[in-house]
Amino acid sequence: MTQGPGPGQQQSRRPGWAWAAVACGCLALLLVAAGGGTLAFVLGTRPDRDASPSTSTSAGSSSSTSTSSSESKPPETAPAFKVITPLDEVSLNEDGLRQVMETNPLTEGTLPAGDACELPTPTKKLSGDQLEEFLNTGSGCLASVWGEASSQRSLPWDTLDVVVYDWPHVPTSECRKDSFEKDYPRVCNLDGKIYWPSDYGASFDAKHPGDLAPLLLWDLAFVQQNTLMWQSSVGLYYQHLEDAIGDDAEKKDDASRRYLLQNACMASAAVMQLPEGSRPSTDLQQRRAERQNRDPDQKPSIQESTVDAWTATGAESDGDLSACNTWKAESSQVE
């Protein structure tokens, strides 16, 4: 596959439902959409659904494989995972690629506890410079989780710098100017930066001034999943899977939902591995998922209850990545 839009290429789409579903108000949840079949989650692509896993148990705890996976009868032994680049050829068929997604190194093991974080605790909206300083500090905090986790799995990791800018004054970068969006950060893995619109992210709530810092960190964790998927090459395997699926819209939507929900779960798990003073409180998690905090005009393609369930699963996983393995979940759990 050539250097097409991928998690870090010309595509930093954001599924719109993501924010509405998992975050309060204008928060945008996730990140890393790769390939043309992405849902309407955070990166401006697509997602939604119905029967969802219980938030009291692991959403990905079911040992059942998806209907499409079981019908396609994947090989008994999963293909060996290796880090690839956009220029590498991948000879695996659809079944083999599904097996890679089910068994890649980010579907098992435990995330390490993050280092102590000296994050500021702003009580009012941050200026551009203040926001940039906060986000880069937060990026370092999250990197203490994903950097160590990647090293343990022999996967590359390089922390991207955050650059805050005022829309529509798009900074010069290696990524195309027309790939930037007013209402979502542009993750440009080509030049190692996350370009963050100054008006994007958590809104200051006078009723809960202490929420601003953890909400910004939570936003950043979702956006940073783009980097994780790109550098680990899991996102590239996902693109190859979409290509292998071809024009089967039902299969493509199922794969997109699994990919996005897994990212939401993993981002939530990573945030909760940070020290207590940095991660979102239980009260904040509950308030963030309250329906009254959602945008009633959002049209998700993944049910809000499903997003909530997987996000809660990540938060309650104690860093267990197998809990976030959506590729082994039943279809009803990712609708």
Q: What is the pLDDT of residue 250?
A: 94
Q: How far apart are CA 92 and CA 212, in angstroms?
A: 45
Q: How far apart are CA 177 and CA 45, in angstroms?
A: 18
Q: What is the pLDDT of residue 164?
A: 97
Q: How many CB atoms lie within 10 A of CB 51?
A: 13
Q: What is the pLDDT of residue 118?
A: 82
Q: How far apart are CA 329 and CA 57, in angstroms?
A: 13
Report whether 82 contacts 297 (CB < 8 A): no
Give 90's contacts (C-beta < 8 A, 6+ positions apart): 1, 84, 97, 237, 240
In three state form, how does the secondary structure of the chain look?
Answer: CCCCCCECCCECCECHHHHHHHCCCCCCCCCCCCCCCCCECCECCECCCCCCCCCCCCCCCCCCCCHHHHHCCCCCCCCCCCCCCCCCCCCCCHHHHHHHHHHCHHHCCECCCCCCCCCCCCCCCCCHHHHHHHHHHHHHHHHHHHHHHHHHCCCCCCCCEEEEECCCCCCCCCCCHHHCECCECEEECCCCEEEEECCCCCCCCCCCHHHHHHHHHHHHHHHHHHHHHHHHCHHHHHHHHHHHHCCCHHHHHHHHHHHHHHHHHHHHHHHCCCCCCCCCCHHHHHHHCCHHHCCCCCCCCCCHHHHHHHHHHHHCCCCEHHHHCHHHCCHHHHC
pLDDT in tens, the chain (335 residues): 333 333 334 344 443 333 223 332 222 233 333 222 222 233 322 222 222 233 333 454 433 333 344 344 445 688 999 999 999 999 999 999 999 999 999 999 999 999 888 888 887 888 999 999 999 999 999 999 999 999 999 999 999 999 999 999 999 999 999 999 999 999 998 999 999 999 998 766 767 878 888 889 989 999 999 999 999 999 999 999 999 999 999 999 999 999 999 999 999 999 999 988 788 888 887 777 665 455 555 444 888 899 999 999 999 999 999 999 999 999 999 99
Report whether 282 contacts 272 (CB < 8 A): no
Give 124's contacts (C-beta < 8 A, 6+ positions apart): 204, 209, 212
Q: How far apart are CA 60 and CA 74, in angstroms?
A: 19
Q: What is the pLDDT of residue 206?
A: 63
Q: How far apart are CA 89 and CA 209, in angstroms?
A: 50
Report whether 258 contacts 301 (CB < 8 A): no
Q: What is the pLDDT of residue 327?
A: 98
Pairing of strands 186-188, 161-165: unpaired
Q: What is the pLDDT of residue 289?
A: 66
Within its chain, how far is the Cα of 117 from the centroid?
21
Q: What is the pLDDT of residue 291?
A: 55
